[in-house]
Amino acid sequence: MARDLVLAERAHHDGPLWLLGASVGGMLAYEAATRTGAVDRLIATCLLDPRDAEARVVAARFPWMGRWSRQVLRLAAGPAAGVCVPLPWLTNMRAIANDPALTDLVVRDRRGGGNRMPLGFFRSFFESAPAVEPEDATHPPVMLAHPADDRWTPAEVSLRFFDRIAAPKEYVPLEGAGHFPVESPGAQRFADLLTPPSP
């Protein structure tokens, strides 16, 4: 679906096409950009490779869940794959924001952090691998704009994948910002990065 969206945008847009992926969407954006070759720039706030054991540990609600996630989720096949569970049961959703009020809002949002997801989705995510390995990803240029005060996914975990990317790349820490980067000065820096230069 993301691939199709990128190709449709490319077909109807003759200017520079930037793709943004936030949180787990960083890897989704990486996939769409590297599979299509239709993007001029990729910006991600997080690049968690689910094959990386440390990435699974930080993504999970509790570290032990991350350590055993692949083995346990293999049981989520057949009818069990369709069983829906609240996102906060399996993920560290309480670390989505550094502002407790914003965290509460996100966790209560049934279309956001309070959503229910099928166990099969988690299984497929943790068993996924990028179609283009980072060492083979020569296009597009990649910017990792990672929140510097991220209490959920430390920058070091994203950098493990990012540092392997062959394309031109730039790492920009968003100072003072949490996983949901709304705090300044990181939020303003992020907004500036998303503003194309004037012609």
| Separation between Cα atoms, residue 60 and residue 62, nearest integer Å | 5
Same domain assignment for residues 111 and 141? no
Q: Are residues 41 and 59 in the same domain?
A: no
List % helix, strand, coil for the chain (3-state, nearest 5).
Answer: 45, 15, 40
**Domain total for the chain?**
2
Q: Are residues 68 and 86 located together in one domain of the fold? A: yes
Whether the model pTM is above 0.95: no
Q: Give the tokens for residue 101.
A: 């009020």
The reply to whether 114 and 176 lie within a common domain is no
DSSP state of 43: E
Structure tokens at 68: 């055993």
Q: Clarify whether residues 65 and 120 are in a common domain.
A: yes
The tens digit of pLDDT for each residue in 150-199 reads 999 999 999 999 999 999 999 999 999 999 999 999 999 999 999 877 66
In-domain check, residue 163: no
Which range, 44-48, 75-79, 95-99, has the best average confidence (pLDDT)?
44-48
Instruction: Report how far Cα 180 is from the mean position of its chain's Cα atoms.
Output: 11
Token code pair at residue 198: 């004037």
Please report the pLDDT score of residue 6 as a whole number: 84
User: Is 196 inside any structural domain?
Assistant: no
In a domain, 142, yes or no: yes
Residue 32 near residue 3, CB atoms below 8 Å: yes
Residue 35 has pLDDT above 90, yes or no: yes
CA angle (179 as vertex; 118, 195 as ends), nearest 5: 110
Q: Write a three-state SS string for 100-163.
A: HHHHHHHHHCCCCCCCEEEHHHHHHHHCCCCCCCHHHCCCCCEEEEEECCCCCCCHHHHHHHHC
Question: What range defines the domain where residue 147 resides?
Answer: 16-29+37-49+132-157+169-184
Q: What share of the chain has pLDDT > 90, as a percent?
A: 65
